[in-house]
Amino acid sequence: MRSYNVAVVGATGAVGNEMIKVLEQRNFPVKKLTLLASERSLGIDLTFHGKSIPVEALTENSFAGIEIGLFSAGGSISEKYAPIAAAQGCVVIDNTSAFRMVPDIPLVVPEVNPGAIALYKNRGIIANPNCSTIQMVVALKPIHDAVGIKRIVVSTYQAVSGTGKKAIDELSLQTQALLSFKEPVAKVYPHQIAFNCLPHIDVFLENGYTKEEMKMVNETKKIMDDQSIMVTATTVRVPVFYSHSESVNIETKKKITADEVRKLLSTAPGVMVVDNPSNKEYPLAINAAGRDETFVGRIREDESIPNGINLWVVSDNIRKGAALNAVQIAEILGSKYL
Ligand code: 25A
Ligand code: L14
């Protein structure tokens, strides 16, 4: 692969920071790395392969000569700047929800639909899915290919890091406050998150679901390229720093046993089966943090229906859920298309 001029937009955020780390760890062929954020971040230097790089303020002129742009600065920033970057020949890999459901913009999880990357040519933009959706489809794609999935019922247990650095701080500060008999302060979330569970991620929609829940419904169908899969989701914020956990119940078209699922997933790309309950082994958020795999365990048959399977799916929301998935897309883009 030749090397590329790469920009990270939102470089000082939780996801942007991880993007820089993943580019370095995977030795992505970077010719020049440009770090962009808001003016609040001016004066900050970040390190890439031992070299210090100053953060620059994002403007319309930031993209001259840049070939790949990894965006994670929020939906409104992407809406404004991704088309500007694309018009200058920069292929944008966008982490926000801004373009995911635009029909001619590909929504990509490399283990599931790498071929869709070719559609970057339509608009110069590739969308990175929602973190909860990514880990779920990585685990379910092999099962869908083998026996067909009719319906998915998922409940999530989502880490605060998905909301960014200020939410990570809020969970630590509230925990410290409560353990020293002080009043916890809630600024990022509408209620106390320490020692609590909030059935509320992103905004509520008219149908009573949250936007996060509907992302799981709509993005799953688009990534799996199958509008017939029925999906219903309940997304919950829990006091965990890194890694989302998910209870996933599926109804399949053809019967598949728990053993067959275990066998199928043991060779699936990006998946690590951890399923040995007699030894107290099952996927845990604290073990998935900092790792690249999607961990699957508690695989068992749903005895309430003829063709049902239950799974527990855990992955680092900032890595596979965001930064790693984006860099994997960039790797395929570079080696196959640019
Ligand atoms: O709209 P969405 O799609 O729902 O996305 C909302 C947020 O979700 C995160 C990301 O937050 C995003 O802002 N996110 C996006 N995709 C994600 C994914 N797939 C995802 N999370 C999980 N999975 P974040 O905290 O990770 O990153 C924020 C970054 O965006 C930069 N930014 C913000 N406004 C910008 C901008 N860059 C350019 N132009 C703008 N107008 C932001 O940089 C950060 O890098 P920054 O300079 O604004 O902030 C640097 C430091 O300042 C702190 N900070 C942020 N906001 C404020 C602040 N401090 C004081 N006041 C503030 N209002 C930050 O914590 C950071 O340390
Ligand atoms: O990528 O956890 O759509 O608050 C935006 C909000 C990811 C998670 C997205 C959160 C998300 C997020």
pLDDT tens-digit readout, 205-242: 999 999 999 999 999 999 999 999 999 999 999 999 99
Confidence of residue 122 (pLDDT cuts 50, 70, 90): very high
Please name the residue ranges forming H helices in 129-186: 131-147, 165-179
- Name which of 82, 33, 88 is nearest 64 in CA terms: 88
Give residue 282 CA to ligand 1 midpoint distance, Å: 33
- Name which of 159, 164, 94, 90 is nearest 129 in CA terms: 94
Confidence of residue 323 (pLDDT cuts 50, 70, 90): very high
Q: To test the ligand 1 pocket, which listed residue (70, 96, 99) has its Cβ within 8 A of the most ligand atoms? A: 96
Q: Which residues are within 8 A (CB) of 25 and not within 5 positions of it... i.e. 6 or more apart?
A: none
Taking phi first (over 0 means left), then psi (-120 to 50 degrees means alpha), and beta for anything else, what does residue 321 get?
Answer: alpha
Active-site choice (131, 144, 191, 197): 131
Residues in the chain: 338
Give residue 217 CA to ligand 2 midpoint distance, Å: 15
Q: What is the pLDDT of residue 1?
A: 73
CA distance 124 to 41: 27
CA distance 220 to 181: 43
- Count the neighbouring beta carbons within 10 Å of the beta carbon of residue 224: 21
Evaluate: CB of 162 within 6 angstroms of ligand 2.
yes
CA distance 74 to 10: 8
Q: What is the pLDDT of residue 135?
A: 98
Asked if residues 236 and 201 have their Cβ atoms less than 8 Å apart, the reply is yes
Query: Chain centroid to CA 81: how far?
Result: 21
- Count the neighbouring beta carbons within 10 Å of the beta carbon of residue 2: 9
- Ligand 1 atom, smallest distance to 57 CA: 38
- Ligand 2 atom, smallest distance to 158 CA: 2
Give residue 263 CA to ligand 2 midpoint distance, Å: 32
Q: What is the pLDDT of residue 55?
A: 98
Helix/strand/coil for 177:
helix
For residue 9, the number of C-alpha atoms closer than 13 Å in the C-beta half-sphere is 30
Active-site residue flag, 244: yes
Give the percent of the chain with pLDDT over 70. Answer: 100
- Count the neighbouring beta carbons within 10 Å of the beta carbon of residue 190: 9
pTM: 0.93
Q: What is the pLDDT of residue 160?
A: 98
Q: What is the mean pLDDT of residues 264-280?
A: 98
**Tokens representing residue 99 in the block:** 């373009």
In angstroms, what CA-CA distances link 283 with 86, 91, 117, 161, 308?
A: 39, 35, 30, 19, 20
Give the percent of the chain with pLDDT over 90. Answer: 100
Give the residue carrying structure tokens 């860099």.
Answer: 327
Asked if residues 74 and 36 have their Cβ atoms less than 8 Å apart, the reply is no
State yes or no: pLDDT of 259 exceeds 90. yes
Confidence of residue 147 (pLDDT cuts 50, 70, 90): very high
CA distance 105 to 109: 13
CA distance 23 to 130: 20
CA distance 84 to 216: 28
Strands (E), the chain: 4-9, 30-37, 45-48, 51-57, 68-71, 91-94, 125-127, 149-158, 230-237, 244-252, 271-273, 294-301, 308-315
DSSP one-letter code for 130 = P
For residue 70, the number of C-alpha atoms closer than 13 Å in the C-beta half-sphere is 33
